[in-house]
Amino acid sequence: MSRPEIYSPEGLRIDGRRWNEVRHVRCAINTHQASSDGSSIIEQGNTKVICNVVGPGEPTGGGVGGSGGNQRAKDDNRVILTVKAVVAPFSTIDRRKRSGNDNRVQEMCLTIQHIFEEAVMGHLQPRSQIEISLYVLSQDGGMLQACINAVSLALVDAGIPMYDYVCACTAGMYDKEVLLDLNRLEENDMPFLTMATLGATRKVALMQLETRVGIDRLEPMMAAAMSGCHHLRDVMDAEVRKHGKSRLARTGV
Amino acid sequence: MATQIGVVLPGDPIPLDSVIPPSTSEPVIQLGPGTLHIPPSTILPVRAGALTASTTSTPTTSTTTIYVDNSTGRYTPAVHDVVIGTVASRFGDLENAYYRVLLPSSTAPQGILAASAFANAASRKTRPNLLPGTVVYARVAAMSLALGEPELECFDERTGKEAGFGELKGGMVADISVGLARRLLLLSSAAAAKANSGRLSVVDVLGQTLAFEIAVGRNGRIWVNSDSCATTVAVIRAIQETEFMTYHDMQDHVAKIVKNLQRSQK
Amino acid sequence: MAPNLKPSALENAFVLKALTENVRLDNRSFSQMRNLDISFSSTEYGVVDVRLGRTRVIVRISAEVTQCRSDRPYDGLFLISTEISPMAAPTFEAGRKSEEELVISRIIEKSIRQSQALDTESLCILAGEKCWLVRADVHFLDHDGGLLDAGCMAVSAALLHYRRPEISIVGTGNKREVVVHPVTEKVPVPLSVLHVPVCVTFSFFNMKLADNDDEEMDTDAPDQTAVLVDASLQEELLRHGFMAVTANTNKEICQIYKAGQLVVEIETLLSCTEAAVAVAEKVTKLIKRRLKEDEATRNVDNIFEEARAENTRLVADEEAIREMDKE
């Protein structure tokens, strides 16, 4: 079988998208009312993540590498965030049991913690803790971006004051073409970066690049990823507004 | 007057004859830090450092204090010492509030400072309210090694006045070695400089050309404040960098730093 | 040295105020690195000692012949171990992985291993059977900020300096065996290093937090972020965010890590990556220079040239010819 073409001369990708199209996004908030104070589910293409938020509440410690304790010592006047992620063994094609101590997953948790420590108005809830749990059900590229978007939505659902949504998107460079929002096949085949912005601004909360790329390729990738972030913000915002309207309609006030 | 006799190592013999003035009939020897008396008449150093003796004498009697001068990594709190600490937290009730004060590079990691131990602390309203992270200049009022936590006060014990103690506002704190802190405090008076054959401390040399405020804590911390950040940084760097220089090298180095500073401010 | 404490409010305010006056605590300019010194062990290959200001890191490279991994039969193995012991600073606990250690080990891993700085295919000896296991042990000896930058440089330099023992394959078919020749017997060979990654950490300070008593500042005004290269420990404790960029002299970026904390304008980040390339060029130049100096001290009387494998083989061949002539 010949390898599928990553980017055809006609300008189509493996899954039929153009270079600047993101995958289909489906998201919902308030999906797990009983178990958490805020919850969300997001599907970006075939990547699927559930997020639960509990808090703000009494600090219990824990978090990445048992860092809850350190965190508290560091700053008493801000909210403590703990992030735990579970990557389901059935989330990839070849079933694999991941241990909880996986460095990659731990790094991702830490990254998400640092992003939202800045995005959440932490000074409003001193000496309290927000627990964020992530469940990655299905992976098809862009796990980190889906997780960040899911956390944003769940925090909004939990009614936690934030400066803006944090929205994340990936962009890759295939030869000289920028491709937006990569799936797994594309991720394995080209250098790509993940970026997260604070709402629809030019302010960057996260930028991660894990593959070697020429510095002249960087700028177009960053620009594309940023526009992807802004688009995702609109999608997420529309969903939250829709949910809000339906809630308001049901209160009967 | 203090004279340095030479470097001693633990167990070295101490040349007592050279320490005691020969004219006195009843010499008294006081043993300071770093010395050990083994009865009946053996005196040994127990630390490595410069053996130092200081003698006060009348025509008939003399008292000689001998101690080993060295630089320790950590500071051991002792009563009357001035220290610079950072407020960590507040505890107790409104009437009897206390602060926990962190003392970096000290053997006792934190001291207790009562809110009533300030110069104008007669009524609750005039007591300062210190937030965590505040830097204070304080004096060790009581210390017991068994209890561990030194008790701090922020007023002059003789006059009851503020005398520079209390919260340090503005400026910058920096770490220096414990030994240097002690030497700076020793040499801070003009009389001490005279005793040191006219040699000024690095602080006084800096003071000839720059205007700044300084507080030295016995626990190896200094606080410096001035009109500009550049001056403050220059003063701190000059003090830190000249610790192991000869007197003339120190003067040259300070002159160089001051010159660079003045050039950058033009 | 004082144990690392949470900096006081006064230090925090002063550092920010000083930055508004373009002053750093050690009088460096914002883009200036501390004194960098790289030295190699005179007795062993692949042992490097990097000092960045008062920060000190030692890296040791070692190699052994081992079994190939079944899923990658054409690749050798390359491991980097970065454990931070309490030797670096009393705040690090032995055996417990701190956040900082996790981040440092991941970034060094991505910078060097994932960017294919070491050509792992060249480490394969017999496909599917035997390969080299190259191990880089990073020891952090003293911590005054910049552990990551110093660690990454040290691993890069050590890989360039290391020489693995020469090997030869004896026998045929299933009876093939790998013979490792000691360094005293055959001249050891360098590793195939494809590029030299250099990691540069940029520390961000939010200048809006300086001078609280000033009247309301224009919140939309750009460039409210001070960017410092190679922060000292004190600056690291006080900074609001950071970005680690790994670059090489081919004008390539191997890795970017900016995870949360202070949000920074995209233009600032882009200019940081350009600055990183410039720093990488400077550091690589120093590494190369030091390597040359080290080689000069070892290569007295041009012994390397004399001891080349080709030379010995020539001699052996001549002897063989002479023996054949006798017969």
The domain spans of chain A are 25-246
Percentage of residues of chain B with pLDDT beyond 70: 92
User: Do A118 and C262 count as a contact with CB atoms less than 8 A apart?
Assistant: yes
Given pLDDT bands bounded at 50, 70 and 90, which one contains residue A101? low
SS (H, E, C) B198-214: CCCCHHHHHHCCCCCEE
Q: Are C252 and A215 a contacting pair at CB < 8 A?
A: yes
How confident is the model over B19-63, as pLDDT tens digits?
A: 776 666 677 888 888 888 888 878 889 989 888 888 777 777 778
Does residue A72 sit at the C interface (CB-CB below 8 Å)? Answer: no
Are B170 and C12 inside 8 Å of each other by CB? no
Among B16-30, B92-106, C115-129, C160-174, where is mean pLDDT lowest? Answer: B16-30
What's the pLDDT score for residue B1? 55
- Amino acid identity, position A195: M
According to CATH, the topology of domain B82-169 is OB fold (Dihydrolipoamide Acetyltransferase, E2P) (2.40.50)
- Distances from the Cα of C290 to the Cα of C13, C40, C153, C158, C193, angstroms: 40, 8, 13, 11, 17
The pLDDT of residue C132 is 92
Instruction: Please tell me which residue, B25 or A125, carries the higher pLDDT value.
Output: A125
Residues of C in contact with B133 (CB under 8 A): 6, 8-10, 12
Residue with tokens 């081992």: C66
AA identity, residue C55: T
B184-193, C242-251, C295-304: the lowest-pLDDT one: B184-193
Token readout for C227 is: 């960017």
Task: Please give the Cα distance from B237 to C283 (Å, whole number).
Answer: 27
Strands B82-92 and B135-142, bridge-based pairing: antiparallel
| Set of chain C residues whose Cβ sits within 8 Å of the Cβ of B100 | none
The answer to the question of residue C185 being in a domain is yes
Q: How confident is the model at residue B199 (pLDDT cuts 50, 70, 90)?
A: confident
Residue closest to B31 by CA, chosen among B15, B45, B48: B45
What's the CA gap between C220 and C218, in Å, rounded?
Answer: 6
Q: pLDDT category, B189, cuts 50, 70, 90? A: low
Instruction: Determine the structural domain holding residue C105 and report its residue range.
Output: 9-199+277-326
The residues pairing with C81 across neighbouring beta strands, listed in sequence order, are C137
Hey, what are A160's tokens? 């936690």
Distance from CA of B168 to the nearest CA of C (A): 8
Burial of A221 per CB tally in 10 Å (0-12, 13-18, 19+): buried
Written as six digits, the tokens of B25 are: 């009939």
Q: Measured between alpha carbons, how far is residue A34 from residues A31, A48, A130, B209, C60 in Å?
A: 9, 21, 17, 71, 54
In a mutagenesis test of the C interface, which of B233, B237, B259 is the best target, namely the one with the most C β-carbons within 10 Å? B233
In C, minimum Cα distance to B260 occurs at C27
pLDDT (average), residues B234-240: 91
Using the predicted structure, report yes or no on whether residue B75 has a pLDDT greater than 70: yes
Of B20 and B212, more confident:
B212
In a domain, C190, yes or no: yes
The secondary structure element, H or E, covering residue A52 is strand A47-57
Which residue reads 């808090």 in tokens? Answer: A55
Q: What is the pLDDT of residue C256?
A: 94
The verdict on pTM exceeding 0.90 is no
Can you tell me the mean pLDDT for C234-239? 89
What gap in Å lies between CA B167 and CA B149, rounded to an integer?
20
Contacts of residue C106 in chain A, CB cutoff 8 Å? 103-104, 107
What's the confidence (pLDDT) of residue B103?
86
**Number of domains within chain C:** 1
Task: Examine residue C232 and state whether it is found in any structural domain, yes or no.
Answer: no
Q: Is the pLDDT of residue B190 over 80?
A: no
pLDDT band at A75 (very low <50, low <70, confident <90, very high): low
CB B226 within 8 A of CB B171: yes
Residue the block writes with tokens 């309609």: A249
- Report chain C's mean pLDDT, rounded to a whole number: 85
Q: Which chains touch B (3 or more CB pairs under 8 A)?
A: C
> What band does B232 get if pLDDT is binned at 50, 70 and 90?
very high
Q: Is the dihedral of CA B27, B32, B34, B37 positive or negative?
A: positive
Asked if A110 and C263 come within 8 Å (Cβ–Cβ), the reply is no
In which residue are the tokens 């009614």 written? Answer: A159
Tens digit of each residue's pLDDT (9 = 90 or more) over A167-222? 999 999 988 889 999 998 888 889 999 999 998 889 999 999 999 999 999 999 99
Do B233 and C5 make contact, defined as CB atoms within 8 angstroms? no
Assess if residue C240 is contained within a domain: no
Q: Are B101 and B110 in contact (CB under 8 A)?
A: yes
| CA distance linking residue A131 with residue A80, whole number of Å | 8
Strand partners, C138: C59, C82
- Percent with pLDDT over 90 in chain A: 54
Q: Do the beta carbons of residue B24 and residue B56 sit within 8 Å?
A: no
Radius of gyration from C-alpha coordinates of chain B: 21
Q: Identify the band that residue A253 occupies on the pLDDT scale cut at 50, 70 and 90.
A: low
Selected from 1.20.120.1460, 3.30.230.70, 3.40.50.1010, 3.40.50.720, the CATH number assigned to the domain covering A25-246 reads 3.30.230.70
Give the Cα separation of A61 and A69 in Å (integer). 6
Provide the token pair at B65: 């204090």
Beta strands B82-92 and C163-164, pairing class: unpaired
Lookup: tokens for C4: 């690392």
Q: State the pLDDT confidence band at A66, using cuts at 50, 70 and 90.
A: very low
By the 8 A CB rule, do C226 and C262 touch? no
Q: Which of A27-41, B5-19, B105-119, B125-139 has the highest mean pLDDT?
A: A27-41
Strands C252-265 and C241-247: antiparallel
CATH number of the CATH domain containing C28: 3.30.230.70
Domain B2-69 part of CATH 3.40.50.720 = no
Residue B148 has pLDDT above 80, yes or no: no
Using CB atoms, which chains have 3+ pairs under 8 A with C? Answer: A, B
Per-residue pLDDT at A9 exceeds 60: yes
Tell me whether the CATH fold assigned to B2-69 matches the one assigned to B82-169: yes
Q: What residues contact residue C178 under an 8 Å CB cut-off, 6+ apart? A: C65, C125, C126, C130, C167, C168, C169, C170
Q: Which residues of B touch C2 (CB under 8 A)?
A: 104-105, 175, 220-221
Comparing alpha-carbon positions, the chain C residue that sits nearest to A192 is: C255
Q: For residue A86, what are the contacts with CB-CB under 8 A and spacing of at least 6?
A: A100, A133, A134, A135, A136
Chain C nearest-CA residue for B72:
C1
Top pLDDT among C282 and A11 is at C282
Instruction: Give the B:C interface size as CB pairs under 8 Å.
Output: 62
User: Average of pLDDT values for A146-165?
Assistant: 94
Nearest CA in chain C to A102: C102
pLDDT value for C2 = 42
| Contact status of C299 with chain A (Cβ, < 8 Å) | no
Query: In this structure, is residue C86 part of a structural domain?
Result: yes
Q: Do B230 and C17 touch (CB under 8 A)?
A: no
Residue A150's H or E segment, with its range, is helix A143-157
Q: For residue A160, what pLDDT is reported?
A: 93
Q: Kindly report, residue by residue over C76-101, the tens digit of the pLDDT.
A: 899 999 888 888 887 787 777 788 88
- The CATH code that applies to domain B173-264 is 3.30.1370.10
| pLDDT at position C253 | 92
Please report, rounded to a whole number, the percentage of residues in chain C having pLDDT higher than 70. Answer: 87
Model confidence over A76-86: pLDDT tens digits? 678 889 999 99
Asked if C1 has any chain B CB less than 8 Å from its own CB, the reply is yes
Decide if C267 is inside a domain: no
Q: What radius of gyration, in Å, describes the C-alpha atoms of chain C?
A: 24
In angstroms, the Cα distances linking A161 to A33, A63, A75, A119, A120 are 19, 21, 19, 9, 6
In degrees and rounded to multiples of 5, residue C186 shows phi and psi of -130, 150
The Cα–Cα gap between C172 and C175 comes to 6
Q: Which of A212, A226, A227 to mutate to test the interface with C (most CBs of C within 10 A)?
A: A212
Q: Does residue C35 belong to the interface with chain B, where contact is any CB pair within 8 Å?
A: no
* Cα dist from B132 to A75, C67, C78, whole Å: 10, 57, 47
pLDDT grade, residue C257 (50/70/90)?
very high
- Chain A positions touching C251 (Cβ under 8 A) are 214-216
* Contact at CB, C8 and B135, closer than 8 angstroms: yes
Place of tokens 């250690």: C101
Pick the range with the lowest mean pLDDT from A33-37, B101-105, C15-19.
B101-105
Query: What is the rounded average pLDDT of the residues C230-248?
Result: 91
Tell me, yes or no, whether C247 lies in a domain: no
Say what the ipTM of the complex is. Answer: 0.86
C87 contacts chain B (CB < 8 A): no
Nearest residue on chain A to C91, judged by CA atoms? A70
**Mean pLDDT value of segment C230-237:** 89
Beta strands in chain C (DSSP E): 36-40, 47-52, 55-67, 77-83, 124-126, 130-142, 163-164, 167-170, 177-180, 189-190, 198-206, 225-229, 241-247, 252-265
Q: Is residue C109 part of a domain?
A: yes
Cα–Cα distance measured from residue B70 to residue C276, given in angstroms and rounded to the nearest whole number:
45
Span of B105-114, B238-247, C69-78 with lowest mean pLDDT:
B105-114
Does the structure show a pLDDT above 50 at A71? no
Check residue A139 and report its DSSP letter. Answer: -
- Residue pLDDT, tens place only, C265-322: 899 999 999 999 999 999 999 999 999 998 888 877 777 666 665 555 555 566 666 7
DSSP states of chain B = -EEEEEEE-TTPPP-HHHHS-TT-SEEEEEE-TTEEEETTTEEEE-S-EEEEEEEEE-SSEEEEEEEEE---SSBPP-TT-EEEEEEEEEEE-STTEEEEEE-TTBSSSEEEEEEEEETT-SSGGGS--PPTT-EEEEEEEE--TTT-PPEEEES-TTT-S-TT-EE--SSEEEE--HHHHHHHHHTTSHHHHHHTTTPPPHHHHHHTT---EEEEETTTEEEEE-SSHHHHHHHHHHHHHTTTS-HHHHHHHHHHHHHHHHHHH-
Q: Which residue has the tokens 């980017």?
A: A7
Domain spans of chain B, in order of start = 2-69, 82-169, 173-264
Residues of A in contact with C263 (CB under 8 A): 118, 197-198, 201, 203-205
Q: Per mean pLDDT, which range of A58-67, A168-177, C161-170 is the poorest?
A: A58-67
Distance CA B130, CA B136 (A): 9
